[in-house]
Amino acid sequence: MFAPDTVVSLDRHDPLKRKRDEFLLPSDTIYMDGNSLGALPKQAKDRIAKVVEQQWGNDLIHSWNKHHWIDLPLKVGDKIAALIGAEKGQVIACDSTSVNLFKVLASALKVNSQRHVVLSQRDNFPTDLYMVQGMSEFLGDEACQLKSVSEELLLESLDESVAVLMLTQVNFRSGRLHDMQLLTRRAHEKGVLVVWDLAHSAGALEISLDKCEVDFAVGCGYKYLNGGPGAPAFIYAAKRHHPYMTQPLSGWMGHARPFEFEHDYHAGEAMLRFLAGTPNILSLVVLDAALEVFSQVDMAELRTKSLGLTELFINCVDSTPSLSDFELLSPRNKLERGSQVAYSHPDAFAISQALIAHKVVVDFRAPNIIRFGFTPLYLSYQDVWSASQVLIKIVEEQLYREPKYNARSKVT
Ligand SMILES: *Cc1c(COP(=O)(O)O)cnc(C)c1O
């Protein structure tokens, strides 16, 4: 398929075009699901093979010191800090986003213990809401109670009962981007602490946690950070909270002196106290190597390209009469958009399966949403244009009506 000249020219002037070579991707596939599972950076593949063979295989337990395994959670945390507008020493990589949410929610509720409401958005990612529900079940309503409201009601719901405002910066369904600075400021004006979930924004756009005076944040290692399936997630806690913050998963690795094997728990220095058990070294190694891809990347350029890609796709759909049944769920205003575009369609499931069969990898979210993810590091404008042409063919020729595109698997 030959793209129009404008698309060719956009690729020619793309400052990130060489980044694609740093990833292993099947050459016949247009991968638009980096918002669910990032692609494999070549460096990560090489590094993990060496670490397994030489460090684990040969140096065995000495590697904790010899190869600095013990320092990986903070080392990787500092690399992530550079991508999310945080000074060093405020981010640690560990556990999953869900577990980390529990830790930071507990920390924030403890700081604001005169209050008990955790305010969030009804259509937040379910795990975020579930973790608050679990905390509430465990501590009782008088210590923790979830209040979830529609996006329009967030600001007016910030009152003196609210301890914590917990939001996801980019909505996982619609791709809508919150104004982090505004919401954080309005929360602080009411004495409310903020917890931001960066699952769909870390590595996808510019973030300024320090500048926005965010209290706590969590995020995901396997989406735009390309850390591999089940990669360690991360926690950010603003330096001003370090002296007194606590978290209840007080495992030995978060102890000030784990190898003294003392009877009583004493919380470790700053971010280290967010560790619970032994760090997942092999996964940290992969994430550490994967983050090298970002070392020469200007996040402002990355954001510009991301918006260019989403804009091109939306324009392709808009200008195709046969796609008029696709309803755009993502904001048209690019300043309110993350790095994904979602459409609803009555046959969303079958169309998403047909796209995948035609090597355009997207994902489906119940009940009727197709998500197209735009990863500026390894997608070109040509890819996006080609994906739109495949979509048009599938719809115009009704290819998605084949029965095989209607069978559901366990993971969608
Ligand atoms: C992907 C995602 C998560 C993932 O949580 P895990 O515990 O790492 O599986 C959490 N929150 C949001 C908003 C997400 O999009």
Is residue 209 within 8 A of residue 60, CB to CB? The reply is: no
Q: Is the CB of 196 under 6 A from ligand 1?
A: no
CA of 220 to the centre of ligand 1 (A): 6
Cβ burial of 18 (10 Å; 0-12, 13-18, 19+) is exposed
Is residue 397 within 8 A of residue 357, CB to CB? The reply is: no
Cβ neighbour number for residue 347 with a 10 Å cutoff: 18
CA of 139 to the centre of ligand 1 (A): 23
Q: Which of 79, 176, 223, 365 is catalytic?
A: 223
Among protein residues, the one with the nearest Cα to ligand 1's atom 14 is: 199
Tokens at 2, concatenated: 């030959």
List all residues 6 or more positions away from 102 whose beta carbon is below 8 Å from its beta carbon: 131, 134, 135, 249
- Provide the pLDDT for residue 1: 62
Q: Which helix (H) or strand (E) holds 195?
A: strand 193-197
Q: Which of 122, 129, 172, 226 to mutate to test the pocket of ligand 1 (most atoms within 8 A of CB)?
A: 172
Q: How far is residue 333 from each of residues 150, 172, 307, measured CA to CA in Å?
A: 20, 17, 10
For the domain spanning 68-294, the CATH number is: 3.40.640.10
Q: What is the pTM of this model?
A: 0.97
Which residue numbers in the chain have pLDDT < 50?
Answer: none
Among protein residues, the one with the nearest Cα to ligand 1's atom 10 is: 97
Q: Which of 36, 101, 122, 125 to mutate to test the pocket of ligand 1 (most atoms within 8 A of CB)?
A: 125
Q: Is the CB of 125 under 6 A from ligand 1?
A: yes
Tokens at 365, concatenated: 């979210």
Strand order, beta sheet including 363-365 = 327-328, 340-344, 369-373, 363-365
Among protein residues, the one with the nearest Cα to ligand 1's atom 4 is: 97
- Provide the pLDDT for residue 151: 97
CA of 127 to the centre of ligand 1 (A): 7
222 among known catalytic residues: yes
Q: How far is residue 344 from each of residues 312, 317, 340, 355, measured CA to CA in Å?
A: 18, 13, 13, 15
Q: What is the largest CA-CA distance in the chain?
A: 70
Cβ burial of 141 (10 Å; 0-12, 13-18, 19+) is exposed
197 among known catalytic residues: yes
Is residue 314 within 8 A of residue 341, CB to CB? The reply is: yes
Please state the atom number of ligand 1 nearest to the C-alpha of residue 197.
Answer: 13
Calculated CA dihedral for residues 188, 97, 378, 89, nearest 10 degrees:
60
Q: Which residue has the tokens 């550079």?
A: 82
Residues 229 and 103: their CA atoms lie apart, in Å, by: 22
343 among known catalytic residues: no
> Which of these, 129, 205, 226, 134, lies nearest to 168 by C-alpha position?
129
Is residue 175 within 8 A of residue 342, CB to CB? The reply is: yes
Q: Is the CB of 199 under 6 A from ligand 1?
A: yes
- Provide the pLDDT for residue 412: 74
Q: Is the CB of 363 under 6 A from ligand 1?
A: no
Residues 165 and 298: their CA atoms lie apart, in Å, by: 30
Q: How far is residue 399 from each of residues 344, 354, 357, 404, measured CA to CA in Å?
A: 18, 7, 11, 10
Q: Is the CB of 98 under 6 A from ligand 1?
A: yes
CA of 377 to the centre of ligand 1 (A): 21
Tokens at 247, concatenated: 């978290």
Domains in the chain: boundaries: 4-40+297-406, 68-294
4-40+297-406 and 68-294 share one CATH topology? Answer: no
CA of 264 to the centre of ligand 1 (A): 33
- Provide the pLDDT for residue 341: 98
* Partner residues linked to 116 by β-bridges: none
For the domain spanning 4-40+297-406, the CATH number is: 3.90.1150.10
CA of 330 to the centre of ligand 1 (A): 19
Q: Is the CB of 97 under 6 A from ligand 1?
A: yes
DSSP state of 124: S
